[in-house]
Amino acid sequence: MASDNKTTFDAAAFLTNAGLGRTIVELKPKESFFCQGGTANSVYYLQKGRARVTVVSKNGKEATITLLSAGDFVGEESLAAIAGLRMATATAITACTALKIRRQEMIRVMHDEPAFVDLFLKFLLARSMRTQADLVDQLFNSSEKRLARILLVMAEFGEPGEPETFIPLITQQTLADMIGTTRSRVSFFMNRFRELGFISYNGRIQVHKSLLNVVLLDQLPDHNAQKPSLFPIP
């Protein structure tokens, strides 16, 4: 009886190393993986760093629709039956290392390797649940609570291992765009969070676990009658 010589597929190795149809790319902060309107011909797997996905309206208004961290895929729209154009822009927030997988190679491995399909579908399901949570947050929560949630997501509270309590450098305007409010309101909320001990600021923003109470338990005191002085977050 002939032995089965088929090698077991190693999804981790596939997503770590360059190979046929796969290239390791390095991006500096503010460099783009791809741009809205470009040809959708590849998927990226983020190995290191943080990034964001943005869209720009016809009148030039930019909105951040999601944040990316190590272990995320981006650009999966290229897997559509007919290759089209990018619907958004993916940009590095910090220095990033990513695996660029050509569309044809991504389709091949999904067809040939069930283990990879399982991994990719789990990611898509998790992203779908996160998108639904973002929508509920936008529809029903105050802008202050939405800001608290975004800061916790960026600090990766609730993820396996030790949370990264220092969030990547990000402007108040970007935070405002993400939660649907103004930069001045974000500055006001950030000062409140700092005064209440939920965050610290010393060159970088550090998120404390107590901020979870804002999201989970709605534990915020009544708004101060007087707006606190601004502090210089970029």
pLDDT in tens, 155-208: 875 555 555 578 888 888 888 888 888 999 999 999 999 999 999 988 788 998
Q: Which of these, 102, 105, 82, 100, lies nearest to 90 by C-alpha position?
A: 100
Residue 122 clears pLDDT 90, i.e. is over it: yes
Q: What is the mean pLDDT of residues 14-38?
A: 95
Give the pLDDT confidence of 203-226 residue by residue, as tens digits: 788 998 888 877 766 656 554 433
CATH 1.10.10.10: which residues of the chain?
A: 141-216
Residue 19 clears pLDDT 70, i.e. is over it: yes
CATH 2.60.120.10: which residues of the chain?
A: 11-119
Q: Tell me how long the chain is.
A: 234
Q: Find tokens 């960026």 and name the residue.
A: 154
Q: How confident is the model at residue 34 (pLDDT cuts 50, 70, 90)?
A: very high
The pTM (predicted TM-score) of the whole model is 0.76
Give dist(CA 137, CA 148) in Å, integer. Answer: 11
Task: Look at residue 159 in the predicted model and tell me its pLDDT.
Answer: 53
Q: How confident is the model at residue 6 (pLDDT cuts 50, 70, 90)?
A: low
Contact by Cβ (8 Å): 15, 105 = no
Say if domain 11-119 classifies as CATH 2.60.120.10.
yes
Task: Look at residue 60 in the predicted model and tell me its pLDDT.
Answer: 85
Average of per-residue pLDDT values in the chain: 84
Lowest mean pLDDT among 101-105, 115-119, 125-129, 159-163: 159-163
Give dist(CA 148, CA 208) in Å, integer. Answer: 11
Give the pLDDT confidence of 48-84 residue by residue, as tens digits: 999 989 999 888 888 888 889 899 999 999 998 677 8
Residues 6+ apart with CB under 8 A from 110: 79, 116, 117, 120
Q: Cα dist. 126→45, 163, 219 in Å? A: 15, 19, 27
Residue 230 clears pLDDT 80, i.e. is over it: no
The SS3 assignment for 233 reads coil
- CA geometry: angle 150, 145, 164, nearest 5 deg: 30
Beta bridge partners of 68: 51
Comparison of pLDDT for 97 and 138, the residue scoring more: 97
Lowest mean pLDDT among 64-73, 97-106, 130-139: 130-139
Q: How confident is the model at residue 98 (pLDDT cuts 50, 70, 90)?
A: very high
User: What is the DSSP code (8-state) at residue 38?
Assistant: S
Give dist(CA 131, CA 137) in Å, integer. Answer: 10
Task: Name all contacts of 184-192 with Cβ < 8 Å and 24+ positions apart.
Answer: 185/143, 186/147, 187/230, 187/231, 187/233, 188/227, 188/228, 189/143, 189/144, 189/147, 190/147, 190/231, 190/233, 191/228, 191/229, 191/230, 191/231, 192/144, 192/223, 192/224, 192/228
Question: Domain 141-216 is of which CATH architecture?
Answer: Orthogonal Bundle (1.10)
